Amino acid sequence: MELGILPKRSEISSKVLYPLDKKSRAYALFQKVQGAMHYVPNFGETCRAILDAVIDEMDAENCSLMLKDPISGDLTICAARGKDEGKSVYYPDRSGNGKRFKSGEGIAGWVLKEGQAVMLNDVHQEPRFVSVAGLNNGRSNNKVNSLICFPIREKDQVVGVFNLSHSKKGAFNEGDKLALSYISNQVGAALTSARFFLEIKEVNRLLKDSREVISKEKVVPIFPPSSSTFVEVGEVTREEGIFIYTSDKMQRIKEIIDQIANTDVTVLIQGESGVGKEVVARSIHLNSFRRERPFVKVNCAALPQELLESELFGYEKGAFTGAYRQKPGKFELANGGTILLDEISEMSLSLQGKLLQVLQDGEFSRLGGKKDVRVDVRVLVATNRNMEEGVKNGQFREDLYYRLDVVNITIPPLRERREEIPIFVEYFLDKFGKKYQKR
């Protein structure tokens, strides 16, 4: 029996699913999965919410998430839910039901080893299928006949498998495969954030005492003219990323930056003009492992859309009148580093499709080019508009929005954190006083 092997993630076209009917189950599924990502970096809550969304909105009787044990390399059940259960079950110790799959064992083990998805509409004709009781916390006795297994990736490494099953033969279709591709991608992003959060948790514990001291300095005392208070209320030096704060709202944003900086998750930064979206983006970059590589900013509203494509992706010699030489685009210049796409909501729909390809595959072609260019770039985007309204109005692609809104940082305006005004006043007085040698 030949396996129903699905194309790799880079080969799956989003055109099959989009645009979605707002009243469809597919639309409700993507909305719920996107809502589950707000639990990041709490991986357990994220998993439970995603599995609940799958059972609620997809025609599946059972679903489970299996992760690779970093020591043994075996697959173990991390979370599961059945249709007849009230909620998902998460196993923080990866105990599951005790069953472990070695790489290459069973369908799940094969998917882990080969990194390719599999769909079977009659599992009993596949000799590698291994029946596992207890995937649904032992409360579902449904006999499995249909199965989809999709690899979960962190960067280029397969770290787990997402499973859907049904007692009916031929239960799954092309739409289910594409939906599970998107869900597996989101699980991988959540796992990346959770891993990094655990790594910095101990560092945060050591910094806790100093932060408690900082929080007591919210009311700025009167100091002699030669002293300054901005260091006392929370300044990160330029080498670490410029970020001055004292309010609780900005403290929470700083904690999010600490959690996600050293990952590759895409970040959507929202806020009114002038609130410091670029400052947050630079802070993310300068606190990441990409800090020694370029940080490239592109204002999508500053150029006509016809020129923006060549600015982002470059062009080949002879691509158009005046193209006398090959020119690399901003994505190539940012290779290995970070690119900030400011005013992303101003990008045309046609260009949004090309950006989606870069996010999915890490590849694009220059204007007039025949070969694909591969880049390793972290993408941060910023806007002062309501992106959800743009999606509803058809001005922004829904599939691209979900790709960008993995982590959302909304920066409050200064009028909502007035306690910081004296800090900024003193900071700039001190800065320009030194620059112009005045007091």
Q: Are strands 235-236 and 100-101 parallel, antiparallel or unpaired?
A: unpaired
d(CA 74, CA 105): 9
Per-residue pLDDT band for 215 (boundaries 50, 70, 90) equals: very low
Q: What's the pLDDT score for residue 141?
A: 46
d(CA 96, CA 94): 6
Non-local (6+) Cβ contacts of 79 within 8 A are 44, 47, 48, 51, 64, 65, 88, 89, 90, 91
Closest CA to 356 of 396, 383, 319, 391: 396
> Poorest-confidence range of 25-34, 211-220, 254-263, 360-369?
211-220
Q: What is the CA radius of gyration of the chain?
A: 24
Q: What is the mean pLDDT of residues 191-195?
A: 74
Tokens 């594409």 label which residue? 178
Percent of the chain residues past pLDDT 70, beyond the cut: 79
- C-beta neighbour count of 339 within 10 angstroms: 25
Per-residue pLDDT band for 335 (boundaries 50, 70, 90) equals: very high
| Domain architecture of the chain: domains with CATH | 9-194 (3.30.450.40), 248-416 (3.40.50.300)
The token pair at 112 is 């882990």
d(CA 319, CA 366): 9
d(CA 314, CA 149): 38
Which amino acid belongs to residue 71? I
- For helices 174-215 and 25-36, angle between their N-to-C axes, nearest 10 degrees: 30
**Residue predicted with more confidence, 27 or 233:** 27
Per-residue pLDDT band for 209 (boundaries 50, 70, 90) equals: very low
**Residue predicted with more confidence, 124 or 410:** 410
Q: What is the mean pLDDT of residues 321-349?
A: 89
- C-beta neighbour count of 85 within 10 angstroms: 18
pLDDT in tens, 19-58: 455 567 777 888 888 888 888 778 888 889 999 999 988 8
Cα-based torsion angle of the residue sequence 430, 434, 436, 439 in order, rounded to the nearest 10 degrees? 60
Q: What's the pLDDT score for residue 132?
A: 56
Q: What is the mean pLDDT of residues 306-327?
A: 82
Closest CA to 50 of 176, 194, 162: 162
Per-residue pLDDT band for 94 (boundaries 50, 70, 90) equals: low
**Per-residue pLDDT at 200 exceeds 90:** no
Which amino acid belongs to residue 62? N
**Per-residue pLDDT at 299 exceeds 80:** yes
Q: What's the pLDDT score for residue 224?
A: 37
Q: What is the mean pLDDT of residues 253-281?
A: 89
Q: What's the pLDDT score for residue 125?
A: 77
Q: Are 155 and 134 in contact (CB under 8 A)?
A: no
d(CA 294, CA 375): 13
The token pair at 5 is 């092997």
d(CA 68, CA 71): 9
Closest CA to 245 of 435, 71, 414: 414
Q: Are 251 and 204 in contact (CB under 8 A)?
A: no
d(CA 61, CA 83): 5
Q: What's the pLDDT score for residue 197?
A: 65
Task: Report the run of H or E that residue 164 belongs to, with start and end.
Answer: strand 157-166
Cross-strand partners of 378: 338
Model confidence pTM above 0.85:
no
> Poorest-confidence range of 153-157, 207-211, 314-318?
207-211
Closest CA to 346 of 384, 398, 373: 384
Mean pLDDT of the chain, nearest integer: 78
Largest Cα separation within the chain, whole Å, is 84
Task: Report the run of H or E that residue 409 belongs to, with start and end.
Answer: strand 407-410
Query: Could you write out the three-class secondary structure of 304-365?
Result: CHHHHHHHHHCECCCCCCCCCCCECCHHHHCCCCEEEEECHHHCCHHHHHHHHHHHHHCEEE
Q: What's the pLDDT score for residue 237?
A: 41
Which amino acid belongs to residue 131? S
d(CA 232, CA 217): 7
**Residue predicted with more confidence, 357 or 18:** 357
